[in-house]
Amino acid sequence: MSAQVKLGTEPSAVTRWIILGVVGVIFAIPIIALLQFSFRDGLGGGYTLDHWAGLFDADAARTYRGLFQAIGNSVLLAIVTVAIVLVILLPTMILVHLQFPRLKRVLEFICIIPITVPAIVLVVGLAPVYSVVVKIFGSGVWTLAFAYGITVLPYAYRAIQSNLDAVPVVTLSEAARSLGAGWLTVLRLVLLPNLRRGVLAAAFISVAVVLGEFTIASLLNRVNLQTALLQVGQSDPWVAAIFALLALTFAFVLLLLIGRLARNRNNS
């Protein structure tokens, strides 16, 4: 007698905890190792707080100037990338949703493409484009945000689209217009407050992606947090480990916030 396989049944609480534990351990081991390494006193063994304390030395600003500058670059890139998402992607998605629903599939396809293209391939394509970008906008590090605007498209699109699908955007905007609101007012007073969670999630995930990006920055010879960490790591691996930990913690907090927002949406 063949055993019947039940589809769609939830795993038991024990199974869930086991899965969570295994996955947690897989994620935790390298992070704990990184943390432990940041306290190691050289290769001879023993632990010290000197590496962490060194960050707050009077000389630290000079020693790690490059690294702090890279952090500044990454923050700037994150801000410009989020601005690109908010100024270009969000209005485009709302416009397509309201006025050109037939283009939804096309837009989705375009936005998903970057996830299928390896960063190295993207750079090969972007290199000649950036020779033009440099001529127009100069070689400021912020111009890297144009490339990041593309790499974050799939994640930002998904976050906003799921919110758009959950809210009766068409009816709400028609109701607002019938009450005398112009398009900008509809966007400001009706749509954005109801798309807040999707927009925030898109922004947070964009920040997380930008802070973790290495390949494009490295191959286009720009300095960001990740390229600087690599450089610092070659001379002071402990500081590189500390900054990697801090960046991970920041990204983790952002993802927790996204999770919290999603839970709030489900509850409401």
Give me the residues that bind other proteins (CB under 8 A), please: 167-168, 171-172, 174-182, 185, 189-190, 193-194, 268
Tokens for 253, please give them.
């907090």
Q: Of 40 and 265, which CB lies nearer to other proteins in the complex structure?
A: 265
What's the closest the beta carbon of residue 187 comes to other proteins, in angstroms? 13
Closer Cβ to other proteins, 16 or 188, answer by number: 188
Judged on CB neighbours under 10 Å (0-12, 13-18, 19+), 212 is middle
Residue with smaller CB distance to other proteins, 152 or 186: 186
Q: Where are the alpha helices (DSSP H) in the chain?
A: 13-38, 50-54, 60-63, 65-84, 90-99, 104-116, 119-137, 144-151, 153-166, 169-178, 183-185, 192-194, 196-211, 215-219, 225-235, 237-267
Q: Which helix (H) or strand (E) holds 64?
A: none
Nearest approach, Cβ of residue 60 and other proteins (Å)? 46
Q: Determine the 3-state secondary structure of 40 from DSSP.
A: strand
Please, what is the minimum distance in Å from the beta carbon of residue 12 to other proteins?
33
Determine the Cα–Cα distance for residues 114 and 66; give it in Å rounded to an integer: 30
Contact (CB, 8 A) for 108 and 157: yes
Least distance to other proteins, CB of residue 179, Å: 4
Among 206, 179, 201, 205, residue whose Cα is nearest residue 190: 179
Neighbouring-strand partners of residue 201: none
Task: Give least dist CB 79 to other proteins, A.
Answer: 26
Shortest distance, position 182 Cβ to other proteins, whole Å: 6
Dmax of the chain from CA atoms?
A: 75
Q: Is there a contact between 258 and 201 (Cβ–Cβ < 8 Å)?
A: yes
Residue 75 vs 167, nearer CB to other proteins: 167
- Compute the least distance from the CB of residue 76 to other proteins, in Å: 32
Q: Closer to other proteins by CB, 166 or 255: give it.
A: 166
The residue among 79 and 181 lying less far from other proteins, judged by its C-beta, is 181
Q: Closer to other proteins at the Cβ: 185 or 215? A: 185
Closest CA to 36 of 228, 238, 249, 243: 238
